[in-house]
Every structure is written in C-alpha cells, then in structure tokens.
A and B are shown apart, each in its own frame.
Chain A
Amino acid sequence: MDTDQEVAEFQRVFSTAVEQIHRSIIGQSEAIEFALIGLIAGGHVLLEGAPGLGKTRLVKTLSRLFNLQFSRIQFTPDLMPADILGTNILSQNEKGERVFVFQGGPIFGNIVLADEVNRGTPKTQSALLEAMEEHTVTIQGKRYQLPPPFFVMATQNPIEMEGVYPLPEAQLDRFMFKIEVQPPPASDMRAIIDVPVSLPEEKPLFRLDDLAALQRTLARVPVASHLKDYVVRLYRATHPTSPEAPNITRQYIRYGTSPRGAQALMLAAKAWALLSGRFNVAAQDIQRVAVPVLRHRLIRNFEAEAANITTADILGELMRAVSELPAK
C-alpha cells in the first residue's frame, strides 16, 4: 500500500467510524473524534460531563465497531483496587490440589470504561496508574500483561458535584485527552429524543488488524524539526518559572505540563494531520489539539481559580503569545 492509500484508508476508517457512532450519538463530534484519535494513538481519554450525555454509549459503540473486548468499571467510594485489577483466589486444580489462581478484574479488556472515575477514592484511582502507562498490572508481586490494544476511557463528573475525589496530577497526566462534554444544543436535542434508549448491537465494522494498521500509519507521519521546536516552546511556555513563559502563564499557572504532555501533543497532531489529508504535521494541527491535550495538565493557581480563568482560556492566550516562527 502506498502512502496515498495509507492516508486515504486512515481517513476512510476514521470517517466511517465517526459516521457509525453518530447513528447512536447525536452531536458530541469533538468527543467522538478525540475518542477515536485516542484509540488509534494508544492514548486514554477522560470525558468530563454531567451524567446522561452519551459518554458510556460512546465507549460501547467504539468497542463494538472495532470488535474490542469491552469492560466497565463503575467507580464508587467503596470500590477497592482488587475490584479493578483482580485477585488471586483459592481454587482446586484437576489433581485435587488447592492453589491460588489469578482472577483478572475488569481492567483486563481492550476498552475499559472507568465510569465516574472521580467517585473512587484516590487509592482505587491509583490502581489504574500502572495499567494505563505500562499496560500491565502487578498483583502480589506478579506482573500481568494487559491484552493489546488497551484503551481506558474514563468519565468524571464535574468537580463541583458532591462526593467526588479530584484525580491526582499523576493520574490526569496519563490521559491523552480530556474532553469536556457539553450539553447538546436544542437542535441536537430534538434528534436525541427520537433515538431509542437501547439500541440493537451493531456488527463490528473493523478488525483489530485495521486498528493496528491505522496505528502504523500514524507513527509514520513525519514531523519537521521546526515543529518539534514549536512544541518545545509551547511546553516551556506553560511553565511559570521558564524564561520563555508569557505573562499569562506567570500570572495564572502553578505547574506546567509534563514531557508526556508534549509527546501526546505531537502524537495527536500527527493524527490530525492525517485527518486533514496532509502528509506532514503543520503548526495548526498542534494548535488544534493543544487544548484537549494540555487542558488537564496545566495546574491553575488560586488567582486563576478565583477569577474563573479556565485552562482553555490560558492555552488560547498562550498560543497567541508563542510564535510559530523559529528564533532565527
């Protein structure tokens, strides 16, 4: 398959998937697109929004489309890590001996929906850390590899709601995107009303090989060094102690993004370049994906919170402040 065909295939699969998802979810285009990009890029997605906005349905639909093993974890305050990861249970083998047998938890799936993840305690939330980053879990000193592909899509309720535990920065950093799911507009609501509550299960349209091919295509997209420099400048501009930090960063940011954020930014920009039909990454690709990639990685200070300045506001200003042109 030549390059043109690769790119065309990428776009075809992507658009087909989006179209298929839109059959069951009205609107929420950004959430759908970035969830797909996350799946293809091997990143995890955090969806934030009120209940009933189609978050769970989106994940289910994705798993069906790509014929992936879906598992769901409903986070509650009394959920324990073992409930997620699994545990060793005492069992009797064929010889009649009693042995401990590992019983994997719901984390062992291709697409894991961590529903209302911020309702779990920090201890339980941290059970996801190793799985999300290394695609492995360690139970009583023994490591278990998670089945590829491994994709976590977590949903969380807005922080203002009762009974939620804010996700720690380390946990947030492991999500490639954070998508704020907005209530649908009135035009979409009329269509949503006509959608049946329970949909018949769709047949898989793509195979795991198709997903792997998309991932290979994504990895091949070249990035020129001036764009890497641009990402580095953006990265440094998010740090208030950096000399390159613009005023808005110094004023409203407590901690800037991690290097993982810069990696995610570049990976997402590659996907966006392919979706745009380009063979190279452009600065506008980076700018387009910057907010979903970085919004949960910037830690605002008290002044920003008091002034109700969102990270999206800060990022918008920051990208205006950082020039695309190289230094010389």
Chain B
Amino acid sequence: MGSAAVAELRRWLIPGAPLALLFLGGALLSPWVRYFAVYMGLVAAPLLLGAVLTATVRSRHSRGYLAKWIDLENQLEDRLASAVEWDALPQLDGFQQRCVETLATELASRRLELPRTRPRNLLFTLTAAMVLTAALAFSLGRRAPEREADATEKVKLAAPVAAGAGEAVKALGEQVASLEDVQLAQLASDLSVLVQKLDAGSLDRERSLAELERLRREATQLGATRAGGASLDTSGSGALGPLARALASGDLKSAEAALDRVSGQLAAGSLADEEVARLRTLVGALASVAESASAPDGAALLRKVADKLGDADPAASAQQLAAAKGLLPSLMKHLSAAGAAERAAQVSAALERSLGPDAPEREVVASLKAPHGPAAAGAGQPLPSGQTSLLGQNGAGDGVVAEPRSAPPHTPSDQGSELRPAGVWNGRVLRELFTDSGSAPSDEVRRLLVEHERVAEQRFERDEIPGQYTDAVRAYFAGLHARGGSWTPTRK
C-alpha cells in the first residue's frame, strides 16, 4: 500500500513539483499569481491527498495475492497461495491435505521472508517532495508584502498610532499657535480634524489617503515657501556646523552665539577658504529666507554680507556679519514655520503609511513621536516680544502674538463643530455672527474670526491689499471685537 501511495505521489509530484516551483516563483513576483496561489493550493492539496488515499485504498491486496507474493519470495511453489484458498473448503482431499502439511513442515523448518517492495524512483519522489515542501515553507515564511487593500474599507487608526498622532498634532498646533502663521494654523487644524476622524473610523481608505496626501503636499509646499526654497547644510563641523544646526533647530540663543563666534573667527582670519565659501552659501540661504519673510532690507543686507565674504578685508566682513545678527529673530520664525510645515508633512506621511495594507505600526509610531528639525526645537519656545516676522516694517500687527484670541489648534479632545476650521468664511459663519438667535457665537466661529483677522494683517504686510482699505478692514474687525464677550447679535 505504501508503495502504491509513493507511486501515486511520484506520479503527481515529479511533473507537479517543477510547475509548483514556477508558480511559487511567479507568486513572489506577481500579485496576480500570488492571489491565485492560495486557491491553487486549496485545490491541489486535497486532490493530491485524495489521489494518494485512493491509490492506497485501491492497492489493498487480497489474501490470495499476498500469499502468492510470499510464495514467490520464499520459493514455496504456490503451496501457501493454494493452502490459503483451500483453507475455506469444508473438507480437504488427500492431495490438498498433504499440500498443507508440506507447507507447514516447510515453514517450520525455515524463517519466512516477508516480501518487501521498494517503490520505484523513491529517491526522486522524496527529493521532489522535499523541494516542494522547502519551497512552500520558504514561500510561507517569506510572504511578499501585501500591496493591495480595499479602498472602500473604513479605516481606523491603531491605538498606538492614534495616540501618537494625537500628541503630534497637539504639539504641532501649539507650535503653530506661537508662530501666528494662519496657513500653518489652517493646516494643523485640518490635520487635527482628520486625525479625529481616522481615530473614529468614519472615513474610508481612499478618502483618508487622498486627504492625507493633500495635507502632505500643502505642508511641503508651505515649508518650501517659508524657507524661501533654501536649505541649511547642517552637516558641517568647525564653527559653521553649530551655527547651521542652531538655525535649523530654531535655537535663537545658540544661533546668535554661534554667529558671534563665526564673526570673530572671520575677523581673526582663522576661517579656511572652504569654510568661508560655506558661510557665503549659508548667508545666501538666510537671504532667501528673509526674502520669503517679506523683509527686503534684511535680504539685501544678507546678500551684501555674502558678497563681501572672502574679500580682502575680513574685519569689515566680520563686522557686517555681526550686524546681520539682528535679523536672526525674524528669520528664525520663518525657519520654525518651515519646520512646523515639515513636521505636518511628516505626520501626514506617517499616517499615510499607517493606512497602507502592510502598515509598519512601530515605525509609524516612532515616526510620529520623533520631532524633526525646527518643529521640535521651536515648539513652545517663545519668541522675543515684538520681534515676530509678522511685524511689518511699520509695526503693523504688533501684539497679535500675545493676544489670547489667537486660534487654538484642534486637539483630539475637540469633538469638531459644524463650522469646520477650514478657513471658509461662508454664509453659515455670517449667520452665526449676525443673526439674532440669542446666543453667542461658538468658539469655532470666534477662532475663525481671529484667523481671518490675521490673514488680513499678513496681507497688509505684504501689500496685497490696497492701503486705502486698511483702516476700514481694521475697523470692521475692531468693531466685532468691541462688542466684548457678549457678542450682541447684530444685523449687518
């Protein structure tokens, strides 16, 4: 029976093993093949088992067959097979009786050799089976990552990811609040709401990923805008390395101290030519940041410093460089904004990964917990009073930072509101503000009002609004605030 089972196994395995290997190889490469591999296995395994079992059952031999087999193995001259048949007879004749007696004598005089069969191609069959088993084990042990997921499936963040994301957006919101950057505040708010929805599992995968991608792109674009397209090389050593790293981390005091040291070294002529060249690049990058911060004077000064670097008079260059130290606070604010945007992009990207079919949860959580660049260093670090980048040359917007009316970012504790802090000043906001419903506007609407006021101020700084409207706009917002906390319903 075992021989028949092996023979049946051989019959299927020897042609089937190469095909199975090809299929498994294909499954490692093609998702379609991998998709069908499971079904192929589900069909092939019972078929193979059934064939082997059937062969085993069908190969069961009668007593007569086995007796004849033993006869052949032991040269019993058909005595055993004949005796087995005659054993069923009610009475034996003389010849039959003597045949049985002769057989008994024969068996008593020697040891009976039971027939053994060695299945043909046993080694080949076992090799094929082992190869197939090893390939299966390898395939199962090293499954290719899933690349597909149901786009319509409602997704919910895993608890550690949700917690990490909540903390990340909370920190981001606090940082953004201190930066007084309306676009960043909008971005942080959107991200916060999205995290809430993801935590609640109310969005499908496609929409969630689309929203996260949009936020990531916006954050990246915003970061690039805030940094003026410049990037700081923080890899250097010597005197320039600490300066670049302090600038990148938003550490104003360290940056000022490092700049003083560099100025001193420049004046003493102890900077190598290569370092002077790197310093020129760094100052040029800061000039770009100043330009993006709508500080043309500062940008001009920094470009002038950059141009002077490497001239014959290092003392003069050092003096101009030291003079540029006064620009650092405003530049640091923009660098921090760029870092915050980068952090937002980082959080979005991590959440995108967490929604993938093969989500690396630990990696995502680590990524959410790891602050990067100025976003971390700048978070919660107060800027010197009256030295924000929002300060225009004319001091417009002074005091905004200190205002308690600054829009707090959404936190995971927020349950959301009908007015999404998407920054849309629409009819619903107006109705809430001006209709006589008898109740005060919600915090969301108040926050939205502040945000819009900031945007207006920022546009004033950039001269995006004609100057003749400035007073009217400020009066409009002041009028709204003059109503105090009562928010008396008013008809416009």
Give A contacts to B, CB under 8 Å: 2-4, 6, 220-222, 224-227, 278-284, 324-328
Q: Which 3 residue pairs across A and B have the least CB separation, nearest first?
A: A3-B94, A224-B82, A282-B77
Q: Mark B75-87, 1 if CB is under 8 A from A, else 0.
A: 0011101100110
Q: How far is the CA of A256 from the CA of B95 in the complex (A)?
A: 33
Find chain B residues with CB under 8 A from A324 CB: 68, 72
Q: How far is the CA of A45 from the CA of B86 in the complex (A)?
A: 33
Contact A225 B85 (CB under 8 A): yes
Q: Does B98 reach chain A (CB closer than 8 Å)?
A: yes
Find chain A residues with CB under 8 A from B64 CB: 225-226, 326
Main secondary structure, interface of A, reads loop
Q: How far is the CA of A282 from the CA of B76 in the complex (A)?
A: 9
**How many A-B pairs with Cβ below 8 Å?**
69
Contact A326 B68 (CB under 8 A): yes
- Considering residues A281, A283, A324, A325, which has the most beta carbons from chain B within 10 angstroms of its beta carbon? A325
A selection of 11 A-B contacts at a CB cut-off of 8 Å is: A4-B98, A222-B96, A226-B64, A226-B68, A226-B81, A278-B99, A279-B99, A279-B102, A282-B77, A284-B77, A328-B65
Q: Does B61 reach chain A (CB closer than 8 Å)?
A: yes
Contact A325 B82 (CB under 8 A): no
Contact B86 A224 (CB under 8 A): yes
- Considering residues A4, A220, A227, A282, which has the most beta carbons from chain B within 10 angstroms of its beta carbon? A282
- Considering residues A279, A283, A326, which has the most beta carbons from chain B within 10 angstroms of its beta carbon? A279
Partner of A221, one of B61, B95, B102: B95
Q: How many Å from the CB of B175 to the closest CB on chain A? A: 86
Interface residues of B in 64-119 (CB under 8 A from A): 64-65, 68-69, 72, 77-79, 81-82, 85-86, 93-99, 102
Partner of B95, one of A220, A325, A328: A220
Find chain A residues with CB under 8 A from B95 CB: 3, 220-222, 279-280
Residue of A with least CB distance to B84: A224
Sort chain B's interface into a size bin.
20 to 34
Contact A222 B86 (CB under 8 A): yes
* Given known A3-B94, A3-B98, A222-B95, contact A280–B82 (CB-CB < 8 A): yes
Q: Does B413 reach chain A (CB closer than 8 Å)?
A: no
Residue of A with least CB distance to B85: A224
Q: How far is the CA of A222 from the CA of B94 in the complex (A)?
A: 10
Contact B69 A220 (CB under 8 A): no
Residue of B with least CB distance to A325: B68
Q: Does B385 reach chain A (CB closer than 8 Å)?
A: no
Contact A2 B68 (CB under 8 A): no
Residue of A with least CB distance to B60: A328
Contact B72 A325 (CB under 8 A): yes
Residue of B with least CB distance to A274: B95
Q: How many Å from the CB of A265 to the closest CB on chain B? A: 15
Q: Does B394 reach chain A (CB closer than 8 Å)?
A: no
Contact B78 A222 (CB under 8 A): no
Q: How far is the CA of A53 from the CA of B489 in the complex (A)?
A: 146
Contact B69 A325 (CB under 8 A): yes
Q: Does B62 reach chain A (CB closer than 8 Å)?
A: yes
Contact A222 B82 (CB under 8 A): yes
Q: How many Å from the CB of A278 to the closest CB on chain B? A: 6
* Given known A325-B65, A325-B68, contact A222–B99 (CB-CB < 8 A): yes
Q: How far is the CA of A3 from the CA of B93 in the complex (A)?
A: 9
Q: How many Å from the CB of B85 to the closest CB on chain A? A: 5
Find chain A residues with CB under 8 A from B68 CB: 226, 324-326
Contact B81 A222 (CB under 8 A): no
Q: How many Å from the CB of B91 to the closest CB on chain A? A: 13
Find chain A residues with CB under 8 A from B60 CB: 328
- Considering residues A3, A220, A280, A281, which has the most beta carbons from chain B within 10 angstroms of its beta carbon? A280
Residue of A with least CB distance to B89: A222
Residue of A with least CB distance to B72: A324
Q: How far is the CA of A284 from the CA of B72 in the complex (A)?
A: 11
Q: How far is the CA of A134 from the CA of B86 in the complex (A)?
A: 34
Q: How many Å from the CB of A319 to the closest CB on chain B? A: 14
Residue of A with least CB distance to B98: A279
Interface residues of B in 367-413 (CB under 8 A from A): none
Contact A227 B93 (CB under 8 A): no
Find chain A residues with CB under 8 A from B69 CB: 325
Residue of A with least CB distance to B101: A279
Q: How many Å from the CB of B242 to the closest CB on chain A? A: 92
Q: How many Å from the CB of B149 to the closest CB on chain A? A: 56
Q: How far is the CA of A232 from the CA of B86 in the complex (A)?
A: 20
Q: How many Å from the CB of B7 to the closest CB on chain A? A: 16
* Given known A224-B85, A325-B65, A325-B68, contact A282–B78 (CB-CB < 8 A): yes
Residue of A with least CB distance to B76: A282
Contact A328 B93 (CB under 8 A): no
Q: How far is the CA of A80 from the CA of B68 in the complex (A)?
A: 53
Contact A220 B82 (CB under 8 A): no
Contact B93 A220 (CB under 8 A): yes
Interface residues of B in 49-69 (CB under 8 A from A): 60-62, 64-65, 68-69
* Given known A222-B86, A222-B93, A325-B72, contact A280–B65 (CB-CB < 8 A): no
Q: How many Å from the CB of B92 to the closest CB on chain A? A: 9
Residue of A with least CB distance to B61: A328
Q: How many Å from the CB of A233 to the closest CB on chain B? A: 13
Find chain A residues with CB under 8 A from B61 CB: 328
Residue of B with least CB distance to A283: B78
Contact B93 A280 (CB under 8 A): no
* Given known A279-B96, A279-B98, A324-B72, contact A227–B62 (CB-CB < 8 A): no
Q: Mark B396-434, 1 if CB is under 8 A from A, else 0.
A: 000000000000000000000000000000000000000
* New contact pairs (16) apart from A225-B64, A280-B82, A325-B72, CB-CB < 8 Å: A3-B97, A6-B94, A221-B95, A222-B95, A222-B99, A226-B64, A227-B78, A278-B77, A278-B79, A279-B99, A279-B102, A280-B78, A284-B77, A325-B65, A326-B65, A328-B62
Contact A281 B86 (CB under 8 A): no
Q: How many Å from the CB of B64 to the closest CB on chain A? A: 5
Q: Mark B347-378, 1 if CB is under 8 A from A, else 0.
A: 00000000000000000000000000000000
Q: How far is the CA of A2 from the CA of B98 in the complex (A)?
A: 10
Find chain B residues with CB under 8 A from A4 CB: 98
Q: How far is the CA of A86 from the CA of B332 in the complex (A)?
A: 145
Q: How far is the CA of A211 from the CA of B379 in the complex (A)?
A: 127
Q: How far is the CA of A227 from the CA of B61 in the complex (A)?
A: 17
Residue of B with least CB distance to A277: B102
Q: How far is the CA of A278 from the CA of B86 in the complex (A)?
A: 16
Find chain A residues with CB under 8 A from B97 CB: 3
Find chain B residues with CB under 8 A from A326 CB: 62, 64-65, 68
Residue of B with least CB distance to A6: B94
Q: How many Å from the CB of A224 to the closest CB on chain B? A: 4
Contact B94 A2 (CB under 8 A): yes
Find chain A residues with CB under 8 A from B81 CB: 224, 226
